[in-house]
Structure 1
Amino acid sequence: MSMPPAPQPPHQTPLSLWGAPPPAPQEKSRVGLMAAIIGGVSLLIVVLLATLVLVGKELEDSYPRAESSLTVPRTLLDGRFTLTKDDSSTLGRTLQRSWRHSWDAEAVHGVVTVYHPSSGERGELVLTGMYGRFKSTDEVRSRVLADNGSKNTRVKVLVPPEDDMPPGSRSHISCEALTRTWADGSTLTYPVCAWADGNTWARVADMTFLTSMDVDLKTAARTTLRIRSEVVKPIR
C-alpha cells in the first residue's frame, strides 16, 4: 500500500510583499539620507565661508592704503608753538579704543598733544587726531567736530561748522567757533578746525588769547592747513 505524498509547505511569500521592507534595504536608505543631509550641510558651510572671505576681502580693499601717519613735532608754525604735553600714550589710546570698531576706520592710532605759544602768550593749541585707514572722510570730519561739546556742558557752539578749501588744499577743512565757560565765570571764544583724509584726521583747537580776540574761521582754516603739512608725514 503506497503512502500518500507528503504535504508541501505553503509557498513562502517574501516579507516585503506584506508591506514591510526588508531590514537591509531600510538601513541603507537611512544611511543614504543621513549622508545626503551631512553633504548638504557641509556644502552650505563651505559656501558660507567662501562668501565671508570674499566680503572680508571686499571690505579690506575698500580702505585706502596706509601711506602717511600723524607725527608729533617739537614745534609748530615755524616755531610759534612749542610742544608741552604729549598724551598720545594715554588719552590717545583711549581715543583709538573708541574708534576701534568703527565701520569707516581701521588700524587706528590716537594722537593727543598740547602746544603753548613760544612767545609766552596766554592759552594753548590742542591737536587731537588719529592715523590709520579711513573711508567716508566727509563723515569722519563731521563726526570729529560733533564730538567737541558732546561731553562738556561748558562748551557751546557759537558758529556751526563751515567747509573751506584753502589754496593748496586737496580736501576740505571744516571750522567752527566754540565758547567755553570756566567755573569762575570766565569765557573764551576760539576756533576749532578739522581735516580728514584716507590716512589721517585731526582736530585743532586754537585757544590762545590773541586768536580769541578775533575769531576768523577762514584764517583758522589756512592755519590748520599749515599745521597739517607739518604733522602729516609719509610712512617710510
Structure 2
Amino acid sequence: MTMPPPYNPPPHNPYAGQVPPPQQPGPYGPPAPHGFPQQYPGAPQGQGAWGQPPMGPPPKKKMSTGAIVGIVLGSVVVVAGLGYAGSRVMSGADALSSFPEATHRLVVPKTLLDGEYELTKDASETEGKEVEETYDPSVKDAKAAIAQYTGEKDAVLVVSGFSGRLRDPEGARDAILKGAVDKQSTLAVPPKDFTPAGADVTVTCQVTRSKDVMGSTTLPMCAWGDDNTASFVAVVTTESATADPKTVDLAALAETTAKVRAEMRKPIGG
C-alpha cells in the first residue's frame, strides 16, 4: 500500500492576522478640571509587535502648558509668601521702627502686558490665604496676589506674590527664588540680577529643571522685591519647557517682569 506523503503545513507568515498596537493618547492628554490645569501628556507610541518592521524612534515627548503651570505653582505659589523668615526674631523697638510706610499695593488686573495676556484665575483669596496667614516678623499687613493669565498659543503667565510692609525686600525676592528649588527640581542657571530699562528695582532671574516620569521641564522665572511688594513671574510655553536652560533669554524675561510689576503695582488709594 502506498503511504500518503507527510503533511507539510504552509510556511508561517509572521505578519498574518497580527493585531496592530493600540493607539496611544495624544500629547496633551484629557481635558483638565477647572482651575489651574495639571493634565499630563500621553506616552509616545511604542514599537510595533514582534515581526513588524521597526517604526523608528518615538516622537519627542511634549509637556502640556497646563502640566508645566501645575509644576510652577506646586513649587512656588506658597513660597512667594512669608515662611522664609520665620526663624528671625526682632526686638520690640526694632519691630516697631524699622518697617517702611505702606504706599503701594499689588492688584490683579483683567489683562497684563497691554492686553497680551487675559486673566484665567485669581487665586489671591484661596491659595493666597496661606501666604497671608504665615507668620513672618519681617513683613506686616501682607496681602496676597496670585494669578494665572493665558496668551496666544497657550502661553501662560503666572504671578505669585504679596504686598505689605517689607522690612527686607531683597531677602523676600531671594527667598522666593530659593523656594522654587525643591527635592524634585535643580537649579540649572543660578540667580542673575538685571536692571531693566526704566525700572527702579533689581529683577533677579533663574532657571530650574524639574524631572518626573514624563521627562525634564525647564522653568525660567524672575522675582522682585521692594518696600511694599514682592513677587515672582513665570512665562510658560511648550517651547520654553523643553529648551536648554542655558539658552533661555533671562534678560528678556526680566524686562517682562518689570512690565508686569508696573501694571500690577499701584499707589494705595489710587
Number of the residue aligned with 2:132: 96
1:190/1:215 contact within 8 Å kept: no
Number of the residue aligned with 1:107: 141
Based on CA coordinates, which of the two structures has the bigger radius of gyration?
A: 1
Q: Higher helix share goes to which structure?
A: 1
- 1:116/1:180 Cα in 2 relative to 1: closer, same or farther (>3 Å)? farther
Number of the residue aligned with 1:31: none
Alignment of 1:142-221 (within 5 A): 142-150=174-182, 153-185=183-215, 187-212=216-241, 213=243, 215-221=248-254
Q: Does 1:131 align with 2:167?
A: no
Q: Output the CA distance in 2 between the equivalents of 1:92 and 1:155.
A: 23
RMSD: 1.8
> Could you list the runs of 5+ residues in structure 2 that have no partner in the other structure?
1-90
Letter in 2 for 1:209: T
CA shift, 1:201, in A, is 0.4
CA shift, 1:190, in A, is 3.0
CA shift, 1:57, in A, is 5.3
- 1:182/1:113 Cα in 2 relative to 1: closer, same or farther (>3 Å)? farther
CA shift, 1:189, in A, is 1.5
CA offsets per residue over residues 178-199 of structure 1, 9 Å max, x none?
Answer: 22334322x3313200000000
Equivalent position SS for 1:195: strand
CA shift, 1:111, in A, is 1.7
CA shift, 1:108, in A, is 0.5
Q: Higher strand share goes to which structure?
A: 1
CA offsets per residue over residues 23-67 of structure 1, 9 Å max, x none?
Answer: xxxxxxxxxxxxxxxxxxxxxxxxxxxxxxxx6455223111111
- Number of aligned pairs? 175
CA shift, 1:211, in A, is 4.2
Equivalent position SS for 2:170: helix
Equivalent position SS for 1:89: coil
CA offsets per residue over residues 124-181 of structure 1, 9 Å max, x none?
Answer: 211100000001211111111111123xx33322101111111212221100012233
CA shift, 1:103, in A, is 2.3
Letter in 1 for 2:195: M
- Aligned-residue sequence identity (percent) comes to 33
Number of the residue aligned with 1:85: 121
Letter in 1 for 2:203: I
1:189/1:215 contact within 8 Å kept: no
Correspondent of 1:68 among 92, 104, 120: 104
- 1:58/1:82 Cα in 2 relative to 1: closer, same or farther (>3 Å)? same
Q: Output the CA distance in 2 between the equivalents of 1:65 and 1:127.
A: 24
